Amino acid sequence: MIVLTKLMGRFYDGSISGKFWFGVQSSNDAEFFGVEGTQNFLNFYFEERDLPEIKEGIKTCNKKLKPYKTKLKNFFKEKKGYNNEQLITALDLKDEENATGKVAILLEWYARLELGEKILKCVKEEGYCDFEAEL
């Protein structure tokens, strides 16, 4: 015999709200009626056993940013906003071909490094790090 309680289950909320039947109904059951659901969030969970991979990711970011990491750090210490021309000047890329493209790549690695450092700090201090990311 299966006993279902009100504490168990998954909920839906919006124009209509309710609870999917536990053990009977999947979260994508509304797709039966002709509309495909979309995923709006990614959930991440890191723990101490993930530290080697986190540290390796940070190491890779640092390699990709050489020799620009210090310049980027100093630039963003002083500024809240930026544009490509400011970054091209700050990174001494004026004479480089496709400087705008290089800036875009460096910013991607710098942002990734910042995220990795936050994850690392959280895992070291709390023993885990979990967060939800919007898509």
Query: How do residues 35-44 score in pLDDT, each as one tens digit?
Result: 888 888 788 9
When the pLDDT of each residue in the chain is averaged and rounded to a whole number, the result is 87
Higher pLDDT, 64 or 4: 64
Does 97 fall in a domain? yes
For the ranges 8-17, 66-75, 93-102, 116-125, the lowest mean pLDDT is seen at 8-17
Q: What are phi and psi of 132, to 5 degrees?
A: -110, 135
CA dist list (Å): 67 to 12, 32, 82, 85: 49, 54, 20, 19
13 in the same domain as 62: no
The pLDDT value recorded for residue 32 is 84
**CB-based contact 94:88 (threshold 8 Å):** yes
50 in the same domain as 34: no
For 28, the domain range is 1-38
99 in the same domain as 122: yes
Count: domains in the chain: 2
| Tokens linked to 97 | 């071909």
34 in the same domain as 53: no
Measured N-to-C along each axis, helices 51-65 and 99-126 cross at an angle, to the nearest 10 degrees, of 150
pTM of the complete model beyond 0.85: no
Does 135 fall in a domain? no
